[in-house]
Amino acid sequence: MKKRLAALLTAVLCLSVFAGCGGAKEDLAYIKDNGEMVMGITLFEPMNYYDEDGTLIGFETEFATAVCEKLGVEPKFQVIDWEQKENELNSKAIDCIWNGFTVNDERRAAMAFSTSYVRNRQVTIIRKADAEKYVDVASMAGANMIAENGSAGQEVIQNDAVLSQNKFVAAAAQKDALLEVKAGTSDIAVLDYIMANAVVNNDSDFSDLMIVDGIEFAPEEYAIGFRMNDTELVAAINKAIDELVADGAMAALAEKYGLTESLILK
């Protein structure tokens, strides 16, 4: 009886680590067995955002859906607290970070990345009424700053000799940062050019905001972030990306969402 009980307990423990006693099932097999890939995102136009009907759309949304189709799994988009993205990934609450995710050396030391596919940079957003007040970084001394919590924009503010001395507020999302500038509760937002260009130039709700010409920070590239050991999954994703580039699907998506000039893979 004791032997049978021990065997039963061992079986239960094996099931609890996904793949049995040989070790937790990871990587591509884990995704395919689940039948879905959970992608951690924030709402970030034109990457992932809701249209007037409440449907999630965007460059990343369609890109991820096309890749998942090639892998034979369903895409599941999960809005996360961007500051907690690494914790969400490592705890397996999500399978990847797929939302205008900037590649840098610090992140490469902690996770694996897909092929980079879009170039970006950080820019400063102000009210048009302040166009003569804020013309360069030096003139921004003493301004109230805002950026998305845990974002590249926050890093820019913290690392700049002038901007780091200003009062700073962390926003939950990049669009929240724009809303604070629009409302006048913050003077300057630092955020991704790709979002700023899409929203400021195309959304009438933000027509009173502008990108400050001549101020550009942190040239960067976007890629998809994975757990460090997910080598098979990364290879499968990169293969799918190559196929989407070869058949023209990536170029078509970039054109649809105004990213043709930013697209790396052509």
Residue range 167-203, pLDDT digits in tens: 999 999 999 999 999 999 999 999 999 999 888 887 7
Cβ(31)–Cβ(24) below 8 Å:
no
Q: Output the pLDDT for position 37.
A: 97
Task: Using the structure block, give the residue that is written with the tokens 């990871």.
Answer: 26
**Residue 132: per-residue pLDDT:** 97
Q: What is the pLDDT at residue 10?
A: 44
Task: Locate the domains of the chain by residue range.
Answer: 25-117+223-262, 120-219
| Domain 120-219, second-level architecture | 3-Layer(aba) Sandwich (3.40)
Helix (H) or strand (E) holding 188: strand 188-192
β-pairing, 188-192 vs 118-127, is antiparallel
For the segment(s) 25-117+223-262, the CATH number from 1.10.10.10, 3.40.120.10, 3.40.50.720, 3.40.190.10 is: 3.40.190.10
Burial class (CB in 10 A: 0-12, 13-18, 19+), 20: middle
Planar angle of CA 185, 191, 193, nearest 5 degrees: 130
pTM of structure: 0.77
Which residues of the chain fall below pLDDT 70? 1-26
